Chains A and B, each alone.
Chain A
Amino acid sequence: MSIVFGGTITPSATVEDMIFNPANNQLMIIDSANNLRFYNTATQTLLTTYGTQTNPQGLTIINNASAICGSSSLTTINFIELSSGFTSTVSGGLVTNFTQKIQQMAADPNSGVAFQTSSTVNTLVRISTSFAVTQIKIGEDFSNGNWSSVIFKSPGRFLIGSTQGTILEIDLAGNVQDSFRLSFQSPMSTSSGIYNQQTPGDPPTANYLSYDNNLLQVITNQALFTIDWTTKTIIKTVPVNTSTSTSGLPDLICQGSSGETLFSRNYTSSNRVVQEIDYTVSPTNTHGELYTNNTGVISLLTMSQTTGQAVAYQPAIPAIYCFTVTPRATTTRTVTVNPGGINQKARLILIDDTGGVGNSFVFLDTNMQSPATYRVPTGKTIKEIVKVGSGTGATWDMSSYST
């Protein structure tokens, strides 16, 4: 097993969002009592409490000195000095789109820029450490959509998901750099009763996102998708059942660590399970679970990007479960396919051959745009197959290596 349960924090008010501070690995939560609280998850002890603005929603660390939070009722942004709790409130924002929902706010701490979702059509709130708060229309060609989630992708880049199934990569200014739209395709001819094309008014909402080394995990109300972001290819789809309301509590994934994310479903269920899901080395494989003793939904999930510490919030109890996740050991490998010196789009198949004849298995099969970096397991013998082109003109290559 790769999940170890540590203990439970009993919060004193409804938790609205929670994140780990990468500087000291303390858990930070905002709650319905208008507080920002700091916890040690190893000992499940409360360390510090600061006040916030009314109805805080959305929480992120915008630089090494400050956190910010939005509100579900105010159009202001709170800047909170982490060392003192000193708070500055800046107007110009918008109320957040949801309550008790993760990924409503994300920051690039290197550049001091953050984005927040809003309930205004196609509009994000941009926040910078210079106390500039502005509203940005993004993706106006997608009608009547709201940006439902935002995560930090890489320095200078964010990924945002919409209620229209659109996922955009934006830069620090909010300019669109890349885009993709989720869809459902059945592998057969269109016929009565088969859903093969996007129906207006019934799109999949990109409820939550997780990104690592060119692979993107997305949870919608219908399925868990794994997408190669270099070519926008859906490489794995696992159907799930979830709430019909995006403003309710759809199935959850959180921004992952080491290519793994945490997943919890929120449909009518027996006692809830938090699952540790791989989406990079072996997409959608579940490596571990944390079984809870209650049927109440898990409304918030988050994990540290550096330590494997993780928490899940079950309001019905109420409890914040503290646990650690030990992901499978990995390293990264950059795959370059450039016959004639020109980088190509290629099919990449990675086979774990550690067990030798009769025991090999495919762990990743994707469409990539060269060069691309992927996470591979360490301590393994790997066969790497690439295919360029199709049909009789296709060319193949294979290499073997140990990690």
Chain B
Amino acid sequence: VPLQTQATLNINNSTTVLTGTSNGNTLAVIDSAGAVRSYSLPQLSLTMGPKTLTGSTACDITMVAVATAAVAYASTARVDYVNINTGDVTQVTTAATVTNNMQGQIAGNTVTGLCMSTRGAGVNVTQVLTTGATSLTPAQLSGTTASCICTKSDTNTWLVGTASSTILEYDQFGHLQKILPIPLTPSTGTAQTTSITSVTYSNGNMACITDRGLLYIYNWSTLTQLLKIPCWDTASVTTGGLLTQSASGVVFAAAAVGTMNPSAVMEIYLEGNNPTVVSNFWMESSIATRNIGFDGTYCWVFQNTSSDTNGRLFTVNSVAKTTTDTRTQVGGIDTNSRIIRLRDDGVGTACVEVDMNVSAGDVNVQCTNDKNYIEISIANTGTTFDIREFLG
């Protein structure tokens, strides 16, 4: 069974699609002509627009409420709030321009209605209900720039990547919660820096890509490095590696820089102690990716060109967490055991999703819907074991 099926979203537009965002059913995209449109993802059809935005330099869009998206601008000091069903636009002129003309510049929280955006040597916070904007200048951003941002929804905070090798966590008031410096030694000469081109977060783990071509995954609580692998490098942040939002630990990555034909979209499982590259799918094109996004069901890819009028849309098998019973018996008697569940997307991809002690009898243990698993049950302090496979 293929992990993903693919469809073509006919954009039918002569302008470059810049960025998209989805509420799980509707994909709203902004384009280089300064317009916004919405598409029904299940039906692959246009449902709204094109509606003209208040400015022509929109560069990024994020959901900030169930039907409302916030649009950030690269060279105009404003944020537009867009109703993705009606196309109604509300302008916040007190907002600021974002740092880079690319995705990952504004990140919304649909629970609080707040979004934070990059703002050169600061960040900007806007509120969908009050449509107020606040420019913040945290001390850690002095002398550097915020290069990318993502929402950390479990704490209603944001992770900000910088041009000076750090990931910063801020609350809505710009109070620093945590800081992670990316190690950059040894060097052949003067101390080096790196720019973070993209950052994402899922259930305790943070992933980021640097312009030096490294993808890092850290346990954000302990700042323990879990994975470091080669990735796309770039001479400019705006053409670096891109990461999507995560859903149940699944994240996709692509290159905003031109790559060889075929160019790859990389699927990563981000959660737990054992994050791994799950698969790559290959696109018959060497054109750089302008935007890649993921809403838990659909992954979309837009290339940085006005000549390709299609977006590529991938339907990802359910990534929802669920539970499946486990029970260990020795000699017909229920017994305590250790359960190790390996998430299994094929040879080379197995990773530990669950490793825990469970009590005797039927126990619900976490897994992911529709994923293949190898479960190892170990009893009697390691002397007895059983292995089974199941579909989550």
Contacts and interface: CB of A to CB of B under 8 A. Distances in A.
A184 B279 CA distance: 11
B326 interface: no
Contacts of B188: 5, 8, 290-293, 319, 321
Contacts of B282: 184-186, 194-196, 222
Given A222-B262, A240-B230, A286-B229, 5 more contacts: A187-B346, A195-B282, A284-B230, A291-B186, A358-B356
A239 B281 CA distance: 10
B277 A242 contact: no
A289 B340 contact: no
A236 interface: yes
Contact of A290 (B187, B190, B285, B346): B187
Nearest to A253: B230
A285 interface: yes
A329 interface: no
Interface string A45-83: 000000000000000000000000000000000000000
Interface in B167-210: 183-190, 192, 194-195
Contact of B213 (A192, A223, A265, A293): A265
Given A5-B188, A291-B187, A293-B189, A191 B262 contact: no
A269 B233 contact: yes
Contacts of B8: 191-193
Interface stretch (A146-154, A173-181, A392-400): A392-400
Interface in B344-392: 346-352, 355-357, 374, 376, 382, 385, 387, 389
6 contacts: A195-B284, A241-B257, A265-B230, A267-B234, A349-B342, A362-B276
A241 B232 contact: yes
Contacts of A267: 232-234, 257
A236 B346 CA distance: 11
A359 interface: yes
A238 B348 CA distance: 12
B382 A186 contact: no
A93 B235 CA distance: 41
A191 B6 contact: yes
A351 B187 contact: no
Contacts of A358: 273, 355-356
Given A191-B6, A291-B186, A358-B355, A269 B212 contact: yes
Interface string B241-261: 000000000000001011111
Interface of A: 1, 3-5, 8, 184-189, 191-196, 202, 221-224, 226, 233-242, 244, 263, 265, 267-271, 273, 275, 277, 283-286, 289-293, 295, 319, 321, 323, 347, 349, 351, 357-362, 365-367, 383, 385, 394, 396, 398, 400
Most buried by A among B6, B188, B281, B282: B188
B212 A193 contact: no
A267 B256 CA distance: 13
B221 to A, nearest CB: 14
A234 B274 CA distance: 20
Contacts of A185: 282
Most buried by A among B260, B279, B310: B260
Contacts of A265: 213, 230, 233
Most buried by B among A223, A239, A323, A396: A239
Nearest to B3: A187
Nearest to B187: A291
Contacts of A193: 6, 8, 283-285, 310, 312
B188 to A, nearest CB: 5
Contacts of A226: 348
Contacts of A237: 277, 280
Contacts of A383: 340, 376
A5 B350 contact: no
Given A188-B5, A239-B264, A291 B233 contact: no
Interface string B264-297: 1010000001101101111111000000000000
B31 interface: no
B192 A357 contact: no
Contacts of B330: none
Closest 4 CB pairs of A and B: A235-B348, A239-B264, A195-B262, A186-B281
Contacts of B389: 394
Contact of A1 (B183, B233, B350, B374): B183
Given A188-B4, A396-B387, A400-B382, A223 B355 contact: no
Given A269-B212, A286-B229, A241 B258 contact: yes
A194 B230 contact: no
Contact of B234 (A4, A235, A242, A268): A268
B255 A239 contact: yes
Contacts of B260: 221-222, 241-242, 244
B227 interface: yes
B332 interface: no
B296 to A, nearest CB: 17
B211 A270 contact: yes
B33 interface: no
B321 interface: no
A339 to B, nearest CB: 15
B231 interface: yes
A257 B190 CA distance: 28
A365 B349 contact: yes
B355 A385 contact: no
A361 B230 CA distance: 20
Contacts of B262: 184, 195, 222
A400 B384 CA distance: 11
Contacts of A359: 273, 355
A5 B3 CA distance: 44
A361 B338 CA distance: 14
Nearest to B240: A270
Given A195-B262, A284-B229, A366 B348 contact: yes
B7 interface: yes
B220 interface: no
Contacts of A284: 229-230, 277
Most buried by B among A3, A221, A285, A286: A286
B136 interface: no
Nearest to B385: A398
A187 B212 contact: no
Contacts of A321: 188
A222 B133 CA distance: 43
B46 interface: no
Nearest to A186: B281
Contacts of A189: 2, 5-6
B212 A5 contact: no
Contact of A351 (B281, B312, B349, B352): B352
